Structure 1
Amino acid sequence: MGRHLLDVAAGHPDFEVARAADRNPATVAALQVDHPGIRFSTDPADVIGSDQLDAVYIATPPATHASFVVPALEAGQAVFCEKPLAVSAADADAMVAAARAGGRAAAVNFSLSDRQSTKYVEQAIADGRVGEVLGVEIRLTFPVWPRGFQTDATWVAGREQGGFVREVFSHFAYLTDRLLGPLVPVHTRLAHRDEASETAAYGLMLAGDVPVHLTGVVGAAGPESYEWILRGSRQSYRLSDWRDLFVAEGKEWRPVELTGELGSEATRLALFAEAVRGEHLHDLADFAAGYRVQQVIEAFHR
């Protein structure tokens, strides 16, 4: 994600990317070739707290987020941070406190925050088209974990700060929180093999009186699948593979035709730029939302 968002930001009209840091010299050398106009280093201090930079993006492993986010906010920089916000409760508390005290923009990069599918279902609930919300189901399936594009990030495979509950379910926890309100864990369970991250997850949560179920499994034959279903008394909605939205009013699902920009790293960076300029935006996740999601995620790991 760090490399991908760097590529997007380098060509984004709202930003001038001046500096970037990574503690891996090989990563720095490779990225310097692709972005000769950016000053790279292996020292985070060249970015964090610099009075030459208005804002920083942080895509380090989640257990390290607080060590960069807190000093950046204390130095007056705006922060765009990858999810999950943190692993430990103490780190999350420190980050939220720094965001409140600093008064600068502090946002979390949840990929569903500005998706057209999210906004469409949100409006359907507000308009009453859904009717009574009866339940939410989240189903995640991975033939292997980590996924192919994450194999270089070795921490993703470990128990300490990795696993699909933190990396993937966090997005759908945010979506459910956004649409229905804060989630309260009722029963959570993970299955593990040796010291690796979870191979299965089950969770029952409540959003108010609405039951929210998670089932996830690693190692199943077949393709990866990501499915979030909202069951309503008048309409139900199914979000599949992040972008494909379906609606049911009877016994059949039919696709929803979404128009306009579907939502991407580029559109979220545009929203972050507006937040840096002082606007408060509904479609960008703030640290308060990230904090609520982090509490739900870590309930599985307790």
Structure 2
Amino acid sequence: MDEKTSVGVIGLGIMGRRMLEALSSHDKFYASHIWDPSAVSVAKATPLAPEAKVCDNPAAVIEGAKAIYLACPPDPRRLYAMIAADCGKPLFLEKPLGINMAASRSMVHHLEKTRVPAAVNFVQATGEPLAAIKAALQSGEMGDLVGIDIEVSYAQWPRLWQKDAAWLKLRSEGGMTREVISHFMFFAERLLGTTHLNWTSPIFPDETLCETNLSARLFNPDGLPLNVFANVGGAQPDKQRVFVKGTKKSFKVEQFSELWVSEGDRFSQVVFPSDNARIDGLHVQLDHFDKCIRGEPHLLATIQEALSVQEKIEGMLAG
């Protein structure tokens, strides 16, 4: 049996802790070193990886582990990624790739120069809904693709389970467009190819807080539309869905991993996530990260794909 690869985790908020849980039950990786500037986050994380060394700084994590997972906010993530790449450590990055386009382009160029294996955690990259839709499109089962709609709606932002990540409510780094719509932008560009922004209309409550409403339209090189609708507020359940529309069949993705299909009538569910879907999805991502490290073909989002997504996300927020 191959020896497990040690992973250093920088950033122990909700995403970092979810990854620790996934690493603790994976057959190819384990968490060996962890760090976060918040003592509260460290205290919440240590029971999930009791054997991991709690480091005094991110440099110690990078030095001690064979691969690095970065779940810290976007701005410091860039610096840690370049330091890890210079040390030859494979990288698994949280999304969004960044918030400043010039800085992210510089980081991508730096990572490409080092040739270190690197991928971004858009979890739908390895999910069953995307694979099923791609297969239906390639086989002709869904007919011609005519467009994609992204719809996101929340009663509040950040959501209750994100309350510890106060930065998510700020315009500088947070917001639902970066945190959620970026996932669906990646999903859409895997089907449509690279898109370009045609128009956008974000609404911000003030100069410091993140967006509460956003509408945008993008097109791919063939002129197929990608429509984005997002809002926060009101007594309602959270809604996250993507409609992929074809001339014979259309698909709806709900809550990241449910898949529904329609031939013109009501949607019927065809993919039912397991009770442990979130960790199962991270396990598959880690399977493909192992392939990435080994130089084998994989389905994870590349840093170039993540940069393309960031360009559209920051363009939408710029208005």
- Identify whether the pair has TM-score above 0.5, normalized to the shorter chain: yes
1:109 aligns to 2:121 (yes or no): yes
1:142 aligns to 2:142 (yes or no): no
Q: What is the alpha-carbon distance in structure 2 between the residues aligned to residue 201 and residue 5 of structure 1?
A: 30
Match of 1:233 in 2: 247
- Deviation for aligned residue 1:34: 4.2
Instruction: Give the structure-1-normalised TM-score.
Output: 0.94
* 2:302 aligns with one of 286, 289, 295: 286
Match of 2:90 in 1: 78
Instruction: Tell me the amino acid that sits aligned with residue 88 of structure 1.
Output: N
Indicate the SS of the match to 1:285.
Answer: coil
1:192 aligns to 2:208 (yes or no): no
- Deviation for aligned residue 1:104: 2.0
* 2:269 aligns with one of 244, 255, 273: 255
Match of 1:276 in 2: 293
Provide the aligned C-alpha RMSD in A. 1.7
Q: What is the alpha-carbon distance in structure 2 between the residues aligned to residue 163 and residue 204 of structure 1?
A: 19
1:204 aligns to 2:204 (yes or no): no
Indicate the SS of the match to 2:172.
Answer: coil
Q: What is the alpha-carbon distance in structure 1 between the residues aligned to residue 264 and residue 313 of structure 2?
A: 34
* 1:168 aligns with one of 166, 176, 180: 180
Match of 2:6 in 1: none
Match of 1:245 in 2: 259
Indicate the SS of the match to 2:125.
Answer: coil
Tell me: CA distance 1:290–1:255, structure 2 relative to 1, closer, same or farther (3 Å). same
1:267 aligns to 2:281 (yes or no): no
Question: Does structure 2 retain, via aligned residues, the 8 Å contact 1:117–1:258?
Answer: no
Match of 1:122 in 2: 134
Match of 2:4 in 1: none
Question: Does structure 1 retain, via aligned residues, the 8 Å contact 2:200–2:316?
Answer: yes
The gaps in structure 1 that reach 5 residues or longer are none
Match of 2:41 in 1: 27
Indicate the SS of the match to 1:242.
Answer: coil
- Deviation for aligned residue 1:221: 2.4
1:193-236 CA distance string (max 9 Å, x none): 12211000000001221111101110032100111001111111
1:72-101 CA distance string (max 9 Å, x none): 111100000000001001221122112211
Question: Does structure 1 retain, via aligned residues, the 8 Å contact 2:73–2:173?
Answer: yes
Match of 2:235 in 1: 221
1:240-297 CA distance string (max 9 Å, x none): 122221111132322224699975111101110121112131x211101101000000
Instruction: Tell me the amino acid that sits aligned with residue 264 of structure 2.
Output: G
Q: What is the alpha-carbon distance in structure 2 between the residues aligned to residue 26 and residue 240 of structure 1?
A: 33
Question: Does structure 2 retain, via aligned residues, the 8 Å contact 1:24–1:42?
Answer: no
Tell me: CA distance 1:67–1:138, structure 2 relative to 1, closer, same or farther (3 Å). same
Q: What is the alpha-carbon distance in structure 1 between the residues aligned to residue 149 and residue 271 of structure 2?
A: 22
Instruction: Give the structure-2-normalised TM-score.
Output: 0.89
Instruction: Tell me the amino acid that sits aligned with residue 77 of structure 2.
Output: H
> Map of 1:30-109 to 2, 5 A cutoff?
30-48=44-62, 50=63, 52-109=64-121
Instruction: Tell me the amino acid that sits aligned with residue 290 of structure 2.
Output: A
Match of 2:144 in 1: 132
User: Matched residues, percent identical?
Assistant: 29
Q: What is the alpha-carbon distance in structure 1 between the residues aligned to residue 159 and residue 273 of structure 2?
A: 30
- Deviation for aligned residue 1:33: 4.3
Question: Does structure 2 retain, via aligned residues, the 8 Å contact 1:66–1:94?
Answer: no
Q: What is the alpha-carbon distance in structure 1 between the residues aligned to residue 303 and residue 152 of structure 2?
A: 25
Indicate the SS of the match to 2:72.
Answer: coil
Instruction: Tell me the amino acid that sits aligned with residue 285 of structure 1.
Output: A
Question: Does structure 2 retain, via aligned residues, the 8 Å contact 1:142–1:217?
Answer: yes
Q: What is the alpha-carbon distance in structure 2 between the residues aligned to residue 183 and residue 164 of structure 1?
A: 20
1:9 aligns to 2:28 (yes or no): no
Instruction: Tell me the amino acid that sits aligned with residue 280 of structure 1.
Output: P
Match of 1:296 in 2: 312
Q: What is the alpha-carbon distance in structure 2 between the residues aligned to residue 239 and residue 33 of structure 1?
A: 34
Question: Does structure 2 retain, via aligned residues, the 8 Å contact 1:72–1:79?
Answer: yes
- Count of paired positions: 299
Match of 1:154 in 2: 166
Instruction: Tell me the amino acid that sits aligned with residue 313 of structure 2.
Output: I
